[in-house]
Chains A and B, each alone.
Chain A
Amino acid sequence: MQGLPIQILDDPFVLSAVLAALLPLLAAGILTGGIGGTIGIRAAGCAIALAFVIAHLSILGWPPLPPRSSLQKIVYIALIGLLLGVVLDFLIDRVPIRPVALVWPGVILAWLGWQQLHGFEVLDLARLVLLWFAGAFVFDRLLAFRAVEIIAPTMVLVAGLGMSAIAMIGNAASLSQLAAAVAAATGGFLLWNWPKQRYPFSMIALFGAASALFGVGATIVLFTRASSFALAILLGIFAAGFIRARLPLSDRPVWGPIAFGIIVMLPMLLAIAAAFFVAPVSTD
């Protein structure tokens, strides 16, 4: 057993998850203390994207600029999403956010998947359009519930966990780690909000986290053999806020969170099961 803790920290999977979970705790505290006031509290949201970026670098190293592969593009997508969130946080009362949330996933997809359109195959185009719809749905649902307790970041966390498992089953280990990093980073942010909410899920937090999550998810769909069907089931997670609001128990102090927990976890478990059973059986 001697040296076991060191062996665990040598594991890149554990390291990325631990890093991604701890960094938001540090970053949110430093940003809030350093900047102070309302801006500082909003800025704490960058902790999620920053933690994801650092986890990405620990897994795959610093990507070139311009990036060549989709994996390398994801880190820039998270950073651009973060900057977009900063701008939107300052303009929140002056510009409509929903159109941005509709267009931004399309921009991400265009950058990641434009090569898929070389042959203008109908199936490739349809896949990109469906992915765009999925991304717009995710951003829209997060926007709709971002101010309702911790519903939005919880949906990101659970989706990240599910995506990580699906990518792992689909033989895409680094993408599995990146999805886990999104979940861990959001989890670290959520720890600051327990047991009492201290930081809002600001535009910075939302666009940083959702951009990273969608970038990882789109790359899994476009460039791996992981189950797209299972990933589609994961979208059910983002309907959890809507369903919770319509449950009779939703305003109860104990049963409300329990019911939400069940609603948000169920699609994740179904998606992982689907990925597991749909995955082709190895002949070796």
Chain B
Amino acid sequence: MRLSNLAGITAVVVALAAPQVATAAEPFAVNKPHTIVSFTVDRLGLTKVLGAFSKVDGEFTVDRDNPAASSANLTIDTASIYTGFEARDKHLRSPDFFNVQEFPEMKFVTSKVERTGEKTAKVTGNLTLLGVTKPVTLDVTLNAIKEDARTKKNLAGFSARGTLKRSDFGMKYLVGAISDEVTLSVELLGDAK
């Protein structure tokens, strides 16, 4: 979700690695088939439940000269959640958890990018879930920016990891039996516009 920030990180990395090609903010569109937001939660202290959202959309910009000015705006279709077990997916879509009929979307908008390494950064953004907006910070790694041989346009790939407390967003049902802390994992691919 801090993919946008990832974009910012990408911008930083690109600026350092290839200053000769530095440009103004470069816009990317989320490549939907190759982007996924996944999560794990602890259940009863016994196992981790793995899940993901299959529908992620949005765009981000990468400013290679001024990475902090990079931005991202991602939207996740909450009804696209799946965990590999249909009955559990239905429950997760209910008002007990993601309440998808009342809150069909989750949004992430970047607010800050702090470089932490050659290809890494901490990306902070505002996550809106269940009508509550809170800052979330992700550790983002730029995997690569490469030219697509077919389209001759750049592709930007990022991985992001982070955690959040679901109760911060009002998702308090069965906190305890199902952990409050949720581990996030994002794999983001962007197509240069």
Contacts and interface: CB of A to CB of B under 8 A. Distances in A.
Interface in A52-90: 59-61, 63-64, 68-72
A51 B130 CA distance: 26
B135 interface: no
B94 A69 contact: no
B94 A172 contact: yes
Interface residues of B, number: 23
Nearest to B175: A61
Given A174-B96, A283-B86, A59 B173 contact: yes
Most buried by B among A59, A64, A173: A173
A58 B57 CA distance: 37
A174 B167 contact: no
Contact of A282 (B86, B93, B95, B131): B86
A224 B170 CA distance: 18
Nearest to A12: B174
B139 to A, nearest CB: 28
B165 interface: no
B91 A68 contact: no
Contact of A69 (B86, B90, B170): B170
B94 A173 contact: yes
A224 B90 CA distance: 10
Contacts of A282: 86-87, 90
Sort A-B residue pairs by CB-CB distance and give the 7 closest, nearest first.
A68-B131, A61-B172, A171-B90, A284-B86, A223-B101, A174-B96, A172-B94
24 contacts: A12-B174, A59-B173, A60-B173, A61-B175, A69-B102, A69-B170, A71-B99, A115-B102, A170-B94, A171-B93, A172-B94, A172-B96, A173-B91, A173-B96, A173-B173, A174-B94, A174-B95, A222-B102, A223-B95, A223-B99, A224-B101, A225-B93, A282-B87, A284-B85
Interface of B: 85-87, 90-91, 93-96, 99, 101-103, 130-132, 167, 170, 172-175, 177
Given A64-B132, A225-B90, 20 more contacts: A12-B177, A59-B173, A60-B172, A68-B132, A68-B170, A69-B130, A70-B102, A71-B99, A170-B94, A171-B90, A172-B94, A173-B91, A173-B94, A173-B173, A174-B96, A223-B95, A224-B95, A225-B93, A282-B86, A284-B86
